[in-house]
Amino acid sequence: MPSVQHTQTQNVNELCMPEPILSDWEKSNHLFGLHSLEIEVYILRHGRSLAMEADLIVSDPINGLRPEFGLAPMGIDEVRHTMEAAKAAGILDQNTIIVSSPFLRTVESAAIAAEILGVDSIQTDDRLRERGFGERELQRASSGYDEVHKLDYLDPRHTTFGVESLCATQDRASSFFAEMNQTLPLKHPHTRPLRLLAVLHGDIGFVSSLAFAKTAAEDTSAAARLKTAELRKLEL
């Protein structure tokens, strides 16, 4: 009796099913197709800043580098306390790769982290900079942030007042983490576990958390925002 070969064919319904249509929000997430990471990712929001104490929105890179908008004394203490606790718990160590937003308040926070952990150097990446708040620059933070955030929940693509949209913010933040996940293991092949500490701002930390969780745009209001000097591990 001759052998019988069976060829598995796809269900006709499967063949006819269209590719899923991604929303603008999902398209802006460079982590959307990833299911695992080669590195451990931690984010640290900068400590309380002088801009916060003055109740000012400082999101323009030119202003973000000004000496009057660095860390407040309380912010220095906050970051030191967070990093000392992280070191004592064995969460981060001298092999941690530290990358910071170029703004003064984040660079100062990263420098404190490096000092406590014994890390020799820090890097900066513009993709971690503060979200641009357009016409709300140098205006009252106590009302300006809430005004923009309420609109974010309605449409992550909005650019009201000339702000950077949530989609644009997620695009650059998630591209940074996707690139680090790809390149750091090649640069540090003998360091395991390989830990990244990204020192950033409130909105960038919030959006990065959404990107890792792959949160739907309509669910963004449920995500937790980072407190000053808060350390958070991000996982897919």
pLDDT single digits (tens) 172-227: 999 999 999 999 999 999 999 999 999 999 999 999 999 999 987 667 666 789 99
pLDDT single digits (tens) 30-79: 999 999 999 999 999 999 999 999 999 999 999 999 999 999 999 999 99
In a domain, 22, yes or no: no
Residue 75 included in any domain: yes
Count of the separate structural domains present in the chain: 1
pLDDT for residue 223: 72
Q: Evaluate whether residue 11 is within a structural domain.
A: no
Q: What is the CATH number of the domain that holds 219?
A: 3.40.50.1240
Q: Is residue 46 part of a domain?
A: yes
d(CA 144, CA 142): 6
152-177 tens-digit pLDDT? 988 999 999 999 999 999 999 999 99
- Tell whether 20 is covered by a domain: no
| Contact yes or no for 116/215 (Cβ under 8 A) | no
Which residues constitute the domain of residue 214?
31-234
Asked whether 104 and 64 are in contact (CB, 8 A), the reply is: yes
Report residue 27's pLDDT band, with 50, 70 and 90 as the boundaries. Answer: very high
Residue 112 covered by a domain: yes
Would you say residue 19 lies in a domain?
A: no
Q: What is the pTM of this model?
A: 0.89
Q: Is residue 51 in some structural domain?
A: yes
